[in-house]
Chain A
Amino acid sequence: KNQVEQSPQSLIILEGKNCTLQCNYTVSPFSNLRWYKQDTGRGPVSLTIMTFSENTKSNGRYTATLDADTKQSSLHITASQLSDSASYICVVSGQAGTALIFGKGTTLSVSS
């Protein structure tokens, strides 16, 4: 069964600290993997998208990594800010014509 599992479910960190969110998937065949940020009460916003041939992609303080062999991805947030408080959702796309498969997200809270 195609699944996307994210960990941890929630995380609290101090402003200025770094953190890493994990995403494991069983989707096969694999097309691409995306990370979204969703602020409370708003729609998700894309952070990165990676195909199986890409290992790392950055977007400002956000860096996503992908290991297609182990079917794992991580999202690293550097020097966290209060505005990083949100839900981070990992989304995997299988073969063409199939629906996107969403993880349940990691809720990040950054405190001062």
Chain B
Amino acid sequence: NAGVMQNPRHLVRRRGQEARLRCSPMKGHSHVYWYRQLPEEGLKFMVYLQKENIIDESGMPKERFSAEFPKEGPSILRIQQVVRGDSAAYFCASSPAVSRETQYFGPGTRLLVL
């Protein structure tokens, strides 16, 4: 049973470009969470999604950031017009519908904005 998959593992972008981060939850999991981690800091909640629904996006910046979890395919975290401050590790976690509190994390995508 594969764990949570994220790709790419490393992503380099220049300022102004777009970054797309993908997350495939564990098999059977219908809840996805995105977190951002800056160096030497804890994880900061960004958004919580179920299939085709955004449940809670209170941690997401109002501009340039968006997330989706389509009926088919992975969840996508999209950052438009990236700036240097977007450089961070982005982690995705998933949980089964019956146990929303137990989150399993992916290996993360490390975004570097030049």
Q: Do A and B come from one complex?
A: no
**Residues of A with Cβ closer than 8 Å to B?**
none
B residues touching A (Cβ–Cβ < 8 Å)? none
